[in-house]
Amino acid sequence: MEVKKTKLKKWLAEEGRTQKWLAKNTKLTNNAISDICTGKRNPTAPTIKKIMSAIKKVDKNAKAEDFFDI
């Protein structure tokens, strides 16, 4: 079974960041981040806010629509 690469997972790879970095900066579990990055889990609105807060530390122009189908 092929692992799906979400826009979030692609961004992490392009930025040279790990899922562990994202988990630490969002205070979400590694498992939650992994599930979101592989498309196994759709993040809730509060989770998207946490993820975007971490991403904006790196790219202040990033928008949730760039990473999630909302």
The string of pLDDT tens digits covering residues 42-56 is: 999 999 999 999 999
Residue 16: inside a domain: yes
Residue 2: inside a domain: no
Which pLDDT score, from 0 to 100, does residue 65 have?
96
Residue 1: inside a domain: no
- Flag whether pLDDT at 3 surpasses 70: no
Domain that holds residue 30: 7-66
Which pLDDT score, from 0 to 100, does residue 5 have?
82
Six-digit token pair at 11?
A: 């961004």
Residue 36: inside a domain: yes
* Long-range contacts, stretch 47-54, CB < 8 angstroms, 24+ apart: 50/26, 51/8, 51/22, 51/26, 53/25, 53/26, 54/22, 54/25, 54/26
| CA dist., res. 34 & res. 26, Å (int) | 13
Domain containing residue 60: CATH number: 1.10.260.40
Residue 34: inside a domain: yes
Which pLDDT score, from 0 to 100, does residue 2 have?
58
> What is the domain count for the chain?
1
